Amino acid sequence: MFGRLPLDEQLNGLRSVLSQNEILTDVMARAATLELPGWYLTAGCLFQTVWNVVTDRPPTNGIKDYDVFYFDGSDPSWEAEDAVIKAGQEVFTGLPAEVEIRNEARVHLWYEQKFGNPCPPHESTETAIDCFAATTCCLGVRLESDRGWRVYAPHGLSDVFNLVVRPNSVLAPREVYEAKAARWKEEWPELTVLPWPN
């Protein structure tokens, strides 16, 4: 439906669709109060809300958590990130969903141990979003007091609305993409999953 519209209409469609997920809009409003540098609500909670609405499912169907990314390179210690996580736990108290907060300035410190290949240090939250396993996932939204919704979508929104999962070989290994895609396809069988490039 929205996937073939001009980009400005796709953005309006995205706001309209995401607003149907009341947990998501609540998370976004509460996250804004934390005033984290370069923050976005990102990842599965966004594109999965779109998939749910497009396929006539409840907006929160299959969403396991809500990811808030921020970027603070001034102190990439675990202690500093943990203090933000604890502040977030208070802000998000009472929500019927898990909210995960992560400082993307720290990712290179643990990524290789978890996924087996090194991650160069990110320069911003946007460069972290650029590295998601599928281009469809590369999406971030935040509330800004002076301009309303800020949307970061480096690959556009057409694939998101058209239920296309496209690999992004920038950082994540093939097995991560394929495992995620298989899990999503089980929950949303309408998806078209494109193969990893040879």
Tens of pLDDT, residues 4-20:
666 677 778 899 999 99
Average pLDDT of the chain is: 92
Dihedral sign from CA coordinates of 21, 23, 29, 35? negative
Comparing 126 with 198, the larger pLDDT belongs to: 126
pLDDT of residue 98: 95
d(Cα 82, Cα 40) in Å, to the nearest integer?
A: 18
Reported pTM: 0.92
pLDDT of residue 147: 77
- Over residues 137-152, the pLDDT tens digits come to 999 999 987 778 999 9
pLDDT of residue 190: 97
pLDDT of residue 7: 65
* Cα–Cα distance list, 196 to 99, 168, 178 (Å): 30, 8, 8
- Over residues 23-81, the pLDDT tens digits come to 999 999 999 999 999 999 999 999 999 999 999 999 999 999 999 999 999 999 999 99
- Over residues 180-191, the pLDDT tens digits come to 999 999 999 999
Please determine, for residue 170, whether its predicted confidence score (pLDDT) is greater than 80.
yes
Q: 């590369």: which residue's tokens?
A: 138
| DSSP assignment of 87-134 | HHHHHTTT-SS-EEEEEGGGHHHHHHHHHSS--PPPSSHHHHHTTSSB
